[in-house]
Structures are given as C-alpha cells and as structure tokens.
Amino acid sequence: MALNYKETKLVKDTIPALRQHGEHIATVFYKTMLRDHPELHNYFNTVNMHTGKQPRALTSLILAFASNIVNISELTPKLERVAQKHASLNIQPEQYDIVGKYLLRAFSAVLGPAMTPDVKMAWTKAYSVMAKMLTGREAHIYREFENWKGWRKFMIYQKKNETLEGNIVSFTLKPIDGQPLPTFMPGQYITLRITVPGMKYAQLRQYSLSDAPSYDHYRITVKRDQGSNWDYAGGQNDTLTVSSAVSSASDSSVGSVQPGRPGVVSNSLIDEFHEGDTIELTHPSGSFYLNPTMDNSMPLVLISAGVCVAPLLSMLNTVVEKRINRPISWIQASRHDAPFQAHIENMTKRHPNMKTKFFKSRLSDSDVLSYTSSFDNDFLSLTSEDLYLNNGSSDYYICGPEKFMMQASSHLHKYGVKPERVQFEIFSVGSFEMRMD
C-alpha cells in the first residue's frame, strides 16, 4: 500500500513538528502503551526508558523514515538493524499493531490540530509501509533460525575473569537440551533474559558473542558498569520497541534495585550468577559481522576499545581457526589491562601475518566528551603498514564508545579510506549514524 504524492507530502510536512516535538511524542507513546499493555515492559531496557534514550531512539527512527519516505532504500541499513534486534527479541507482527495504534494516538495528542484527518491517514499508511518492511524481513530471519524458536535455556559452564581487576568477565554457555548449536556470523550478538531480584519484569540485554562459532557452546563477555555514561551492547539501536544497551552495575540485595540505575543486568551476572546456573538466550542475530565464507585475502584491520573487543575477537578467532589467509592488524585500546591481551599476543606469535598494537585510553571506558585522551596521538603513531593503507581493498571493523569510533573513522577518512570499507558496531540507543566525514 504505497503512499501517493499528496500523502507523501503530508508526511514530509510533519518533519519540522517531529523535530520539535518528537521526543515528547515518543514519551507519550511509551507511557500510554505501557500503561495499557504492561506485559510489554518485558521487552525494554528499564535504564533507557528512565534516561530517555529509548524515546530518543524512536524519534530518530521516525524522523529518518519521514525524511526518506520517497527513497526508502536509504533506510535499508537502519531497518536491517531494527529487524535483527526485533528478531532477537522474538517480536511478533501483532505487536506492530499495538505500536501503530498508540504511536498515532500520541501524534494526535501532541500535534493537536496539526494532526488533521488527512495527515493521520497519511501517517497510518506510512507506518503500515514501515511495519510491513520490518515484519517481512523478520519473518525471513525467523525462517533462518529453523527449529530454534524463542527462548532457549543455557547453563553457565565456565565463568572467567578477563582482567586483573575482575571488571570484565566471560561466560561460556552450553545448551541445557544438549542439541548442537547453530553457527553464527562472527560479530553477532545474542539476547539474554534473566530475573533480577527487586525488579518486577524480566530483564533483557544484548551481548556480543566473543568467540568463534562452536557446535556445543557460546561465549559472551560482560563488563561491570560502575556508573559510566555509556552502556555496551553487541547489537544495534533505534528499535521500535526495545533498547540495545547492556547495563552492568546493580545492587544485589532484594528490593534495593533502582529501575533507572545503570548496571542492573551486568552486575547481577558478574556478582550473582555462577557456574552451573541457568539463563535464557535467543538465537544469534545482528548486522555487524564478518562473513568468513567469502573468498577474501585482503587485509583485515580490527580496531576496538575496552569490552567492545568482544565481537572483533569473535572475528579474529574465526579467521585464525578457519585458516583464512588474510593479513591482520589488531589495534586495541583499554584504560587499564586489556582483556584477552595474552591470548592475542600468543596468537600473534603463531601467525606471522598478524600484527598488534595496544594503547591506553580513557575513551575505552567512557564517552564523556570532556575526557582528555591520548588516543588521537596513539592513532597518529600508527604507520601505513599498521593500517594497510597501501591496499585500497583493506577491510576495517571498529567497535567502541561513540567518541572512540568517531576519532578512528575521522583518521581513516583523512588517510583516504573509502567509507564502504569501514564497518561500525552501533550499539548505543539513540546514537548518531556513524559517518566518515
């Protein structure tokens, strides 16, 4: 049901009002929808709802859709991230009907007389177009999941500190049913669901898989959040119904958990979950990944910061295990001791086509813009050989806090690296679209 010229114009004419009132619209939408459908709380990151990140994410998506309604193909990467996230949360088509109802109601409540019957009809059709695009793609993703439907129980087989501080911990997870696990693309994430004492609803978070695919286990790596201003996730942002940040610092006593406090899940995992305990996961998903089946001998440059090393480590381990003949440059920043550094260094000794650089940077732990950092100088110290700048077909994968990725991408752009050669893990709810300019 495509929009005609008049309807398209009516939607585009609402862009100024959406820019001015979009976050208010999204806030009203979530408030009324969750009041009438409290069961949907089980799909949300409570922290992002309290901080306003989730309404900002929805506003960003609505504005992007309205701005590109005559050129929907420009939205493909953003909608793919949304579809992957929704599939990881087992979102169903009927939930889109609920969202549409309350979203249009919020439009009317905030825009008032500007939401004329014609404008409402135009936005009804526009939302239907977007919903059909997403549900169609999600249906395809669900078919790829084959027999894995919804949540699956896993046992924590191994729990291991990855830093001397003990603030980054890996969990090796094995399926309770003992059935072989499907493979995944290195760089993808799973959604984890746990019950946290003192919280009314289930808590869902996305974590990147931090090892090469295996038939009998997955591994995730979790960072304790002690109140920083950014949350890590191995997933994407701008979803209609759910958030993507992984929080990690929580009070462990029953009844003391503050719903809007960062770290509800990650700290609970680190402090309260032990080997032998059970958690629930959904099928691996995500649009940020390295395809190891492609015949590619071009250089691979992996740039990470802090715990955001997780998806890139999955890529590295996969390339090495599959004996893919690619020159590799590993560049990793951390505030203190780097997670997996010994593993990386041992791997480098065994593989002459691999080189490594480790930096110290506060940007690996925070996105606070006022923080000073030596990362610019560190990056400038990298040689053309470190970054394989002499090869126009080199591939670059970057994962870290937004400012870290902005700085890295800016340098690569100045060095003449083409934007299509650079992939980012966009993990922060409501974050900007990464550009190399």
Question: DSSP per residue over 204-267, as a string?
Answer: EEEEEB-S---SS-EEEEEE--SS-S--B-SS----SS----B------STT---TTSTTHHHH
Cβ distance 121 to 8 under 8 Å? Answer: no
Structure tokens at 85: 């996230």
pLDDT digits (tens, 9 = 90+) for 65-79: 999 998 888 888 889
Same domain flag for 159 and 249: yes
**Are 322 and 295 a contacting pair, CB within 8 Å?**
no
Is residue 431 in a domain? no
Query: Tell me: the pLDDT tens digits for 175-223?
Result: 999 999 999 999 999 999 998 888 888 889 999 999 999 999 999 999 9
Phi and psi for 358 in degrees, rounded to 5?
Answer: -115, 130
Instruction: Report percent pLDDT > 70 for the chain.
Output: 85
CA distance 137 to 170: 32
Same domain, 141 and 10: yes
Region 375-401: what's the mean pLDDT? 91
CATH number of the domain where residue 188 is located = 2.40.30.10
What kind and span of H or E run contains 97?
Answer: helix 93-111
Give the C-alpha separation, 342 to 28, whole Å. 50
**Angle subtended by helix axes 309-321 and 341-350, to nearest 10:** 30
pTM: 0.86
Containing domain of residue 267, as a range?
Answer: 152-281
- Give the pLDDT confidence score for residue 202 in this predicted structure: 87
What confidence score (pLDDT) does residue 428 get?
52
Positive or negative torsion for Cα 281, 285, 289, 290:
positive
Measured torsion, CA atoms of residues 348, 352, 354, 360, in degrees rounded to the nearest 10:
50
108 and 210 part of one domain: no
Q: Which two tokens stand for residue 186?
A: 């290195």
The candidate with the shortest Cα–Cα distance to 287, out of 216, 368, 206, 381, is 206
Q: Give the pLDDT score at 296.
A: 75
Q: Are residues 111 and 160 in the same domain?
A: no
Q: Check residues 372 and 363 and name the one with the higher pLDDT.
A: 363
The domain that holds 360 is classified in CATH as: 3.40.50.80
Higher pLDDT, 105 or 366: 105
> Is the same domain home to 117 and 25?
yes
Q: In the predicted model, is pLDDT for residue 415 greater than 90?
A: yes
Tell me whether strands 168-175 and 218-223 are parallel, antiparallel or unpaired: antiparallel
More reliable by pLDDT, 240 or 325: 325
Q: What is the mean pLDDT of residues 301-321?
A: 95
Q: Taking each helix axis from N to C terminus, what angle separates 5-13 and 15-36, rounded to the nearest 10 degrees?
A: 80
pLDDT given at position 1: 65
Both tokens of 92, joined, read 């169903």
pLDDT value, residue 268: 92
pLDDT at 250: 28
Q: Band the pLDDT of 337: cuts 50, 70, 90.
A: confident
Residue after which a domain boundary falls, among 124, 145, 166: 145
* Tokens of residue 301, six digits: 């440059």
Cα separation, 211 vs 308, in Å, equals 13
- Report the half-sphere exposure of 435 (CA within 13 A, side-chain side): 3
The DSSP letter of residue 150 is S
Assess whether 63 and 83 both reside in one domain. yes
**Helix, strand or coil, per DSSP, at residue 296:** coil
Model confidence band, residue 368 (pLDDT cutoffs 50, 70, 90): very low
Same structural domain, 342 and 324: yes
Q: Provide the pLDDT for residue 261.
A: 57
How far is residue 404's CA from residue 152's CA, in Å, rounded to a whole number? 35
Higher pLDDT, 368 or 147: 147
16 shares its domain with 107: yes
Judgement on whether residues 141 and 158 belong to the same structural domain of the protein: no
- Residues with active-site annotation: 96, 138
| Mean of pLDDT values over 222-243 | 49
Q: Do the bridges between strand 354-360 and strand 203-208 make them parallel or antiparallel, or are there none, so unpaired?
A: unpaired
* 31 and 134 inside one domain: yes
Q: What average pLDDT does the structure give for the chain?
A: 85
> How does DSSP classify residue 285?
B
- Give the pLDDT confidence of 144-173 residue by residue, as tens digits: 998 898 999 999 999 999 998 889 999 999
- Whether 15 is in a domain gets the answer yes
Same-domain pairing of 127 and 229: no
Using DSSP's 3-state secondary structure scheme, residue 170 falls into strand
Cα 72 from Cα 132, distance rounded (Å):
13
Q: Are residues 328 and 418 in the same domain?
A: yes
Element (DSSP H or E) covering residue 328 = strand 328-334
Q: What pLDDT, on a 0 to 100 scale, did the predictor assign at position 363? A: 61
- Is the predicted pLDDT of residue 141 greater than 90, yes or no? yes
Look at residue 427 in the predicted model and tell me its pLDDT: 58
Q: Which residue has the higher pLDDT, 402 or 383?
A: 383
> What is the number of structural domains in the chain?
3
pLDDT score for 370:
34
pLDDT tier, 283 (very low <50, low <70, confident <90, very high otherwise): very high
Q: What is the pLDDT of residues 95-116, one digit of tens each?
A: 999 999 999 999 999 989 999 9
